[in-house]
Amino acid sequence: MRALTAAFAAFVVVAMATATAGASARAQSGFDRPGGDYADAPVPSGDPAVCANRCERDKGCRSWSFSYPSISGAPAKCWLKREIVRRVPSNCCVSGVRGAAVIEPHLGELEFSIDRAGGDYRNFETAAEPRGKACAAACQADTRCRAWTYHRPGYGAAAPRCYLKTIIKPPRHRPCCISGVVR
């Protein structure tokens, strides 16, 4: 009986350690992992999940960083790293460790990597920003606006654009965009 209890206790400790390690090993938007690079490549789709998957397939990879396309025209890029490099806050990037999927942040009503295509009644060029605040504010200030989509720079156009919508369209996963529903 003691052997069975000891074996069960050891199993619980291992299970808890595994669960804790997995919980802390998430890829996060808004963080970079500078240094430790051994390979880099452009990501034509602009999807950070492509970078996470490259790291998964490469046995030498321990962590990775992805940068969104820039206003200057630089493409989205993936850096693979031989070590787990400490993350630092940076709006340019998404980073993670091997074994961690891309986790987009949930910040109130913001929908990261979501496009609500269609229903546009107005669109305009706006400032480049990590959370589309100007676009959200424009929608809040307009009584016709029910939803909005901020289209990040570098995804088809050099400058970011804001799309205001009279209709709430279904969300579609697209790394180019940040959206929100107002009314």
Q: Are residues 98 and 30 in the same domain?
A: yes
Q: Are residues 98 and 119 in the same domain?
A: no
Is residue 143 packed enough to be buried (19+ CB in 10 Å), middle (13-18) or exposed (0-12)?
exposed
Rounded Cα–Cα distance for residues 164 and 167 (Å): 9
> Among the three residues 83, 103, 123, which one is the final residue of a domain in this structure?
103
Based on the structure, what is the number of domains in the chain?
Answer: 2
Q: Is 5 part of a structural domain of the chain?
A: no
Q: Could you read off the pLDDT tens digit of each residue along the chain, which spans 183 residues?
A: 444 444 434 333 333 333 333 333 456 778 899 999 999 999 988 888 899 999 999 999 999 999 998 878 889 999 999 999 899 998 888 899 988 766 665 556 788 888 999 999 999 999 888 788 999 999 999 999 999 999 988 887 888 999 999 999 999 988 889 999 986
Buried b (16+ CB within 10 A) or exposed e, 36-54: beeeeeebeebbbbbbbeb
Reading phi first (left if > 0) and then psi (alpha if -120 to 50, else beta), residue 150 is in beta
* Amino acid identity, position 101: A
> Among the three residues 103, 125, 160, which one is the final residue of a domain in this structure?
103
The SS3 call for residue 162 is strand
CATH number of the CATH domain containing 153:
3.50.4.10
User: Quick one: which of 76, 75, 78, 55 has its CA closest to 65?
Assistant: 78
Q: Is 2 part of a structural domain of the chain?
A: no
Rounded Cα–Cα distance for residues 15 and 28 (Å): 24
Q: Are residues 37 and 90 in the same domain?
A: yes
Residue-range definition of the domain harbouring residue 131: 111-181
